[in-house]
Structure 1
Amino acid sequence: MEESSRPAAPIETLQLFPRLDELLLALLRSLAPADWQRPTLARQWTVKDVVAHLLDGNLRTLSMLRDGHFGEAPAGQSYDDVVGFLNRLNGEWVRAARRLSPAVLIELLAQSGAEYSAFLRTLDPWAPAAFSVAWAGESESLNWFHVARDYTEKWHHQQQIREAMGQTAPLMSPELFHPFIATLLRGLPHALRTAAAPTGAVVQVRIGEPGGGTWQVEKAPTHWRLREAAEQPGALLAAEVALAPETAWKLFTKGLSPAEARDQARLRGDEALGTAVLGLVAVMA
Structure 2
Amino acid sequence: VVESRGGIMDSIQRFSNLPTYLPASPHISNADIFFFLKEANQDIMRNSSLQSRVDSFFIYKAHQPPPPVLNATYGPFSVEQPVPLDLMLTSASFGFTNKFTFNWKLKSHIINSSIYSNKPKIQTLFYIAGKDWDDYDSEEMLPCVKMFAFLESREVVASCRLTGHLGLCVVELELSPSWFSSPPPLFSEETTSLEGITVELFYKIYAVDGECSPEDAKWENNIHAGEENEHQALSAMERIGSIVVYPNQDKLKQSSLRVDENIIIHLPLSPVREGDIVTFHVFLADYSLADQFVLR
Q: TM bucket by the smaller chain?
A: under 0.3
Question: TM-score, normalised to structure 1's length?
Answer: 0.22
Write 1 or 2 for the structure with the bigger share of helix. Answer: 1
Write 1 or 2 for the structure with the bigger share of strand. Answer: 2
Larger Rg: 2
Instruction: Choose between structure 1 and 2 for higher RCO, CA contacts under 8 A separated by at least 6 residues.
Output: 1
